[in-house]
Amino acid sequence: MSADHGDGALAARVRRAETLLEERGVVDGAELDAILDRYLATGSPANGARVVARAWTDAGFRDRLLADANAAVTELGFRAGGLQPTLLRAVANTAEVHNVVVCTLCSCYPIALLGPSPSWYKSEAYRSRVVRDPRSVLAEFGLTLPDTVRVEVWDASAETRYLVVPRRPDGTDHLDDDKLAALVTRNGLIGTAAV
C-alpha cells in the first residue's frame, strides 16, 4: 500500500506533522483539532446527495459539475478536498453507461461529500473483484444491469476522487431539491446502487 494513499495513512502523516508544528510552536494543537473535527463532522453522504439533486434540476449546474466538480461543489458551499487538495471528478450515469468507484490500492474516497467510507469499500474483496467482474459485484449489491449498459470502473487515488451522479428516477418531476436529495443513497454515489 502506498503511503500516499488512504485516509488512515493520511491521518498518521497529519499526526506527525501536527506534533512537529506544535513542538516548534508554529501551531496550536487545539486549533488544528478544531479544523480536523470540522472536516470529519461535516463530511456526509447528504452533501453528495445535495450535489446530485442540484445536477438533476439545473442543467447548467450539471454541465459545470461534469466539467469541473471542485469548482461546482463550492457553489453549494462544499469543498471537495480535506487537508490537501484533491481533484474531484463527477461521472454521470446514463442509459448507456453505469459508473462505479473503487480505490484498488486502499480506500481513497471523497469524505467531504460522502462521509467516512463503508467497510466493504476498503475490503480486499471489493477492491479486487469490482475491477475484474463489476457486473457480478453490482448484482451482489442488488443492482442488475442490462447487457446494453456499459460498466465504467473508476480507480480513485490520493490525487483524484470520484462522485457518481445517478440517473434521476422516473416519476420525480414534481419533487423539489430537498425531496430529490433524500432519494440519493451513499451507495448510489459510489455506484453500487442505481440511486
Active-site option among 44, 108, 119, 157: 108
User: In the bound complex, what is the minimum distance in angstroms from residue 39's beta carbon to Fe ion?
Assistant: 18
**Contact between residue 134 and residue 188 where contact means Cβ atoms under 8 Å apart:** no
For residue 44, indicate whether it is catalytic: no
User: In the bound complex, what is the minimum distance in angstroms from residue 104's beta carbon to Fe ion?
Assistant: 8
Kindly tell me which of 102 and 143 has the beta carbon lying closer to Fe ion. 102
List interacting residues with Fe ion (CB under 5 A): 5-6, 103, 105-106, 108
Joined grid coordinates for residue 15: 499526526
Burial of 174 (0-12, 13-18, 19+ CB in 10 A): exposed
Kindly tell me which of 72 and 101 has the beta carbon lying closer to Fe ion. 101
The residue number with the shortest CB distance to Fe ion is 108
- The Cα 100–Cα 111 span in angstroms is 16
- The Cα 126–Cα 21 span in angstroms is 38
- The Cα 93–Cα 46 span in angstroms is 19
User: In the bound complex, what is the minimum distance in angstroms from residue 15's beta carbon to Fe ion?
Assistant: 18
Active-site option among 2, 107, 117, 119: 107
User: In the bound complex, what is the minimum distance in angstroms from residue 153's beta carbon to Fe ion?
Assistant: 14
Kindly tell me which of 82 and 143 has the beta carbon lying closer to Fe ion. 82
Question: Which backbone phi and psi does 13 adopt, to 5 degrees?
Answer: -65, -40
User: In the bound complex, what is the minimum distance in angstroms from residue 6's beta carbon to Fe ion?
Assistant: 5
For residue 119, indicate whether it is catalytic: no
- The Cα 38–Cα 146 span in angstroms is 42
Kindly tell me which of 12 and 71 has the beta carbon lying closer to Fe ion. 12
Please choose, from the candidates 104, 103, 91, the residue with its C-alpha nearest in 3D space to the C-alpha of residue 188: 91
Sign of CA dihedral 183, 63, 98, 134: negative
Kindly tell me which of 164 and 194 has the beta carbon lying closer to Fe ion. 164
- The Cα 184–Cα 46 span in angstroms is 8
Active-site option among 44, 103, 128, 157: 103
For residue 117, indicate whether it is catalytic: no
Catalytic residues: 103, 106-108
